[in-house]
Structure 1
Amino acid sequence: DIDLDFPRDVRERLIPMIHDRHGRDRAALVAAFPTFRARSAIRELGKALGLPPGEIERVARASEGWSGHRVAEDVASALGAERLAGREPTRWRHLVELAAEAHGLPRHLSQHSGGMIVATRPLVDCCPVVPAATEGRQMVMWDKDSCADAGFLKIDLLGLGMLSAVERCVDQIAARRGERIDLSRIPYDDPEVYRTIQRGETTGVFQIESRAQMASLVRTRPQTLDDLTIQVAIVRPGPIQGGAVNPYIARRQQLREDPSYAIPYDHPSLEPVLRETLGTIIFQDQVIEVAMAFAGFSAGEAESLRRAMSRKRSGQAMEAHHRRFVEGALARWPDVDEPLAERVFTMIRGFSGFGFPKAHGAAFGLLAYQSTWLRVHYAPEFLAALIDEQPMGFYPPDALVHEAQRRGIAVHPPEVNASAAGCTVTADGAVRLGLGHVLGVRREEVALLVAERESHGPFRSLAELASRAGVGRPSLERLAWSGACDLLAVADGASPRHARREALWRLGVAAAPVPGRAGAQLALPLDLPQAPALTGLDRWEELLADYATTGITTGTHPMALLRRSVPALRGTPTSADLGQIDHQAPVRVAGLVVARQRPGTASGVCFLLLEDEAGTVNLVVPPQVYERHRLTVRTEPLVIAEGRLERHPAAGGTVNVLVRRLLPLEATSRPAAVHDLSRPQGGEADAAQAGRGDFRAVAPPAMSFAQGRRR
């Protein structure tokens, strides 16, 4: 089994090359068989039962998404327990019963994320082969475990977004600064890079950007690439379930305070194997070494144990090795009793979740350092590359932009005379969003517009844009509503407040390109009619338009607007103020939800990351609070949280809020109209009062339960 990571575009070219190199009869993609879980069962069975689509979606979004045996709780949480009350069978009760029966059954045939097998003889001699959905590819109808059992060589060709982002960043640096960066030759002991990592300032950095990683970095304070290798591997289900995380961090902190501190080992035979990781099992390789050194496994038996950890059916496979491990340890070492042998095996059993081999951790640790180095020394180019390579990582583009702005990097919205297709960096170091980030505008139309501008000069008016760009009316309207045509509207006589609506109106009545044999026949360059008297946009309406068209706002943060207009937020501290509040003090915070996580290793605890105009704050939602406010946790983009502030010295002073109550932002009281803050109070009321409800429809996506870690 070989894992290879490539930039995304390289992977797409590589798969057909492997088909051609080894023969289409001897190379194929590996299949996967997704099974019914709660959300898929609710949606598909609910549709078959004829339940209302809106209610089906509400229940599906409220669901945990894993077990189909708890759909009754999902229905009660989303719609009320009365839907399942009474003795008479109802369609909702049928849904609950059918979802439990369907749980775990295959739903459809799918393609493995990157697996291919290569054989020495035609694959059709031993397994079924079918065409894949993508032209030019084929797939065996076996999953990865079946292919491994059959002895096939399996190669995982994975498209890694950060590799693409790093390449794009290096190209941006060369284009803007004339510097050609060779990341294999950068200094790997840069003090500023390690100070940045130790402070947990790693938003956008590969593998060490999650809130769990940031909190861990502040405590472990990596100083070398070896430390980073351990760091990227430690926040994984394997080490967490194996109980390695807290002991490793505590021992590292103890060593920093007392270099003579003696690392405790469960048994002397484990010291040579676990010295590097301070007596804990963090890498898959160590499982093999522990099994051989402690339990007397042969190399073949230890490899069989390692393979059992990587299988979907690992629970049963791991149990088969359980008694052999305990009995081997008791027979090999007279000072080992059964509780000790069980404790060591429990450390190993945790890796049946997921753990890294050391080589994998080293490769990812190197890329984590390189991406941090680019963030520290070439921050604008790194941000531009990250935005262009979305989706990837833990943060939506909007959160990346706000974090960069807090670091002093200027970010400009798209503009038809200044933006390229992707993000660019201006001469003064600002990042300009690309026209390709305007949703609903086709890539081909963006290319036509940019090519026309570069060939024949900038557009001087809205009429000229409509006649020269070769872009259809729907795309012109999307560009106008995104603000990309504001400067042209101002040049045509509109005021800045009215520019977006006037551009939308005038381009909306422009003659659309007429399809012709040679592509598109452009409209005649006639003057566009003047717009009627239109109400100007205030800041809240501009923000909604930004999110609706690009998913990013480069202007005022939504919380800055709401904090001055919603009575429930008056006196509520910002994230920057929390550092002045005492440990265990009651606190009330509000913000935009950036990430939602409820990992299976957290015993039902849910973690939310809120963002406001000053920064971010971590919310810890206990299981009982989560169950009371499940819909709010899972679906609301703007929330108010009440709870207790926690700041433990052992956690490096990281601030968390332990939540006892969670509310949608508008649920506390009917908010006052949001006024244009550039006008004196008492001016025209904002039409966004009605638009407040629309924020749910345009809110930037959060890193959610279903998405997991995006590569």
Structure 2
Amino acid sequence: MFRLSTVLADVPRNIRAHSSGVIVSRRPLADTVPVQWSAGDQEDGNLRIIQWDKRSAKHYFDKFDILCLRGQDVLSGTQERVRLQHLDFRVENLPLDDPHTYQAMRSGELVGIPQSASPAMRQAHMRLQTMNLTDASLVQAGIRPGVGGAVKINELIGRRRGTKSYQLSHPDFERILGNTYGILVFQEQVDQLLQVFCGCTSGEAEEIREEIHKRRREDYGQVLRPQLIQRAVDRGYTEAVAAEAVDMAAGFRGYGFAQGHALAFAEISVRSIACQQNFPGPYFAALLQAQPAGYYGPCTIANEARTRGIRILPLDVSRSTEDYAVEDIVAEDDPKLGVPSGGIRLALTALKGLSAPARAAIVAGQPYLSVADFVRRVALNRDELETLIQCGGLDALHPHRRALLCAVPDWLAWRGAVSGGLELDVPPPTLPEMTDFSPEEKAIRERALLGLDVHQHLMAFERERVSGRGGLTTWEARRQPNGKKVMVVGNPIRLRFPPTPSGKRVVFFDLEDETGLLNVTCFDAVYRRDGHAIVCSPYVTIIGVTQVREDHTAFLAQRVFAYQPEIVKAVDLEQTLPITTADFLVG
């Protein structure tokens, strides 16, 4: 069985379209290679594909990988919204050398920035002290390939900051590796080493690099080492220099980016930061519209928007559409100043359980004068009407959610009577007298149905209690000096368990509260003792110490306890809180 499995390894078992590969040919493709329709259902029908795989195709055709990224949707969505006020605005005209953009990267305030939002990315930008687009591309190439990547990011950061010395032994190394501090970062640098030192052609160098990566488990670079060194010596290099060049190339065995690839990712981040800084309302509206798009979900994105002064406006059957829209608002505090584009109106698509026909009917009938007007003109089923009421979608027509919810059967019966074809003067139902849902109950139902918090993060309901016991917000914890022991309470999200050389477990996660995120590290002993709380509890209390490393503050957990939220005492819950638990980051 194992022998047959070895033979079958890498044999194609199905044929589907490459996610973003495009080939260019001078002659009709069918004259060179069989062409067929792809499998699967695309929106515009199936796609024409060739029967060669990507490795075979590149030897004959010019092949391009087109980056199909949600970040592009965010930028185009931002442009569309900004142009409602500024007709000549174009994302591609934003400068790539604005110092304020790179200041944001160095600060690590990058939640909601495509290609740069993850904790690893934010830390790398802070530690590297990103100053320009080239620096940003180094971070992309060093972090995005993941734990299997070929770039030694810590060594790169140390050399960049001057804490680790290095010296290049030959001028040709300076020409190839000077901009990356003597470290191989990009794929083409491996090719350049093989071409300059060993005399390989560009095609030969590319094949050698790919074989070194593909056959890394058998250490294929060492198999080629003697002949490559000899080729370099024959070209006049000393054996020591030749060995250094070959060992560098052979050591680049993990996955790495081409520089153009890294620059393209970095450019999306740079333009996104510029949009976020200058047009926060349109930017966060586009980001919510593009979900799922990036490392964090809608709840975290909405929370980040609030911390930046953007108000999340509730769902409203008379104003919400299929898209997240930007609205002018009036400041809640005195003086009551108008804030252009200061609010984001939730889209109907945010509501779970509301069908596409129902959304279309709601938009077509806008605006509505009363609950009776809405119920009569939009034929929603009972479940859809109840979810709209519970999330606050009818608050502008009648603010008493519990009374409306209890009267839903009467409203549906009334609609049947007035729309039965007879011109009957049937009065709308009378709402029962009762106490409305509490603010806590409303907030919990909004989180459950919308996947985000409208007016404030659920953790805000716990703040008075936590602060009274000496707990800090995540914002305050991030600004503590090195070695400070503090207590923080929040929701653990984005749990990550990277492999370690020792085999001991270490878990990284973000602790979220109403002020933002705190990056937490939990080592093996703490995880073995307190891991159940991290994985299974919606809220946890963490006691730990701050660790400031190269301008980045991490939080080392010493104890983790399940936190029993006060909010559950204020509501009559039939199920657990709609707060993320066991939020493992897979892949």
TM-score higher than 0.5: yes
Q: Which of 593, 596, 615 is residue 516 of structure 2 equivalent to?
A: 615
Gaps of 5+ in 1: 1-103, 256-260, 491-498, 676-684
Q: How does 1:650-661 map to 2 (within 5 A)?
A: 651-652=550-551, 654-661=552-559
In structure 2, C-alpha distance between the alignment counterparts of 1:166 and 1:249, rounded to whole Å: 30
Q: How does 1:348-367 map to 2 (within 5 A)?
A: 348-349=252-253, 352=254, 354-367=255-268
Residue aligning to 1:674: 567
1:243–1:168 CA distance, 2 compared to 1 (3 A): closer
Q: Which of 292, 295, 308 is residue 394 of structure 1 equivalent to?
A: 295
Residue aligning to 1:248: 156
Number of paired residues?
Answer: 555
Residue aligning to 1:264: 167
Q: How does 1:315-334 map to 2 (within 5 A)?
A: 315-316=216-217, 319-325=219-225, 327-329=227-229, 332=233, 333-334=237-238
Contact 2:395 2:401 in 1 (8 A): yes
2:417 aligned with 1:507? no
1:309–1:627 CA distance, 2 compared to 1 (3 A): farther
Contact 2:109 2:122 in 1 (8 A): yes
2:106 aligned with 1:206? no
Q: Which stretch of the first structure deviates more once superposed, 122-131 or 590-599?
A: 122-131
In structure 2, C-alpha distance between the alignment counterparts of 1:593 and 1:525, rounded to whole Å: 55
Q: Deviations over 1:185-211 (max 9, x none)?
A: 233332322322222222212212221
Residue aligning to 1:35: none
Q: Quote how far apart the aligned CAs of 1:142 are.
A: 7.2
Give, as a single letter, the amino acid of the residue that structure 2 aligns with 1:530: T
Contact 1:394 1:703 in 2 (8 A): no
Residue aligning to 1:224: 132
1:513–1:439 CA distance, 2 compared to 1 (3 A): farther
In structure 1, C-alpha distance between the alignment counterparts of 2:527 and 2:476, rounded to whole Å: 26
Give, as a single letter, the amino acid of the residue that structure 1 aligns with 2:439: R
2:222 aligned with 1:305? no
1:271–1:524 CA distance, 2 compared to 1 (3 A): farther
2:583 aligned with 1:699? no
SS in 1 for 2:393: coil
Q: How does 1:270-669 map to 2 (within 5 A)?
A: 270-308=173-211, 313-316=214-217, 319-325=219-225, 327-329=227-229, 332=233, 333-336=237-240, 340=244, 344-345=248-249, 347-349=251-253, 352=254, 354-427=255-328, 428=339, 429-453=342-366, 458-490=367-399, 499-511=400-412, 526-565=426-465, 570-579=469-478, 581-600=480-499, 604-648=505-549, 651-652=550-551, 654-666=552-564
Residue aligning to 1:3: none
Q: Which of 681, 686, 691 is residue 570 of structure 2 equivalent to?
A: 686
Q: Deviations over 1:464-515 (max 9, x none)?
A: 110112433322221111111112123xxxxxxxx22222223343228999
Q: Quote how far apart the aligned CAs of 1:382 are.
A: 0.2
In structure 1, C-alpha distance between the alignment counterparts of 2:449 and 2:541, rounded to whole Å: 26
Give, as a single letter, the amino acid of the residue that structure 2 aligns with 1:664: A
Q: Quote how far apart the aligned CAs of 1:321 are.
A: 3.5
Q: Quote how far apart the aligned CAs of 1:290 are.
A: 2.1
Give, as a single letter, the amino acid of the residue that structure 1 aligns with 2:128: T
Q: Quote how far apart the aligned CAs of 1:339 are.
A: 8.2
SS in 1 for 2:445: helix
SS in 1 for 2:437: coil
Q: Deviations over 1:318-367 (max 9, x none)?
A: 73343213552366243528985685246412xx3x22111112222222
Give, as a single letter, the amino acid of the residue that structure 2 aligns with 1:656: A
Query: Structure 1-normalised TM-score?
Result: 0.69
Give, as a single letter, the amino acid of the residue that structure 1 aligns with 2:248: V
In structure 1, C-alpha distance between the alignment counterparts of 2:132 and 2:32, rounded to whole Å: 49
Give, as a single letter, the amino acid of the residue that structure 2 aligns with 1:570: R
In structure 2, C-alpha distance between the alignment counterparts of 1:399 and 1:596, rounded to whole Å: 15
Query: Structure 2-normalised TM-score?
Result: 0.82
Calculate percent identity across the aligned residue pairs.
26
Q: Quote how far apart the aligned CAs of 1:534 are.
A: 3.9
In structure 2, C-alpha distance between the alignment counterparts of 1:194 and 1:303, rounded to whole Å: 34
1:524–1:345 CA distance, 2 compared to 1 (3 A): farther
Contact 2:536 2:581 in 1 (8 A): no
In structure 2, C-alpha distance between the alignment counterparts of 1:523 and 1:131, rounded to whole Å: 54
Contact 2:548 2:554 in 1 (8 A): yes
Residue aligning to 1:26: none
Contact 1:132 1:138 in 2 (8 A): no
Contact 1:202 1:208 in 2 (8 A): yes
Residue aligning to 2:78: 169
1:326–1:205 CA distance, 2 compared to 1 (3 A): farther
In structure 1, C-alpha distance between the alignment counterparts of 2:464 and 2:388, rounded to whole Å: 30
For the aligned residue pairs, the C-alpha RMSD in angstroms reads: 3.9
In structure 1, C-alpha distance between the alignment counterparts of 2:29 and 2:13, rounded to whole Å: 31
1:233–1:243 CA distance, 2 compared to 1 (3 A): closer
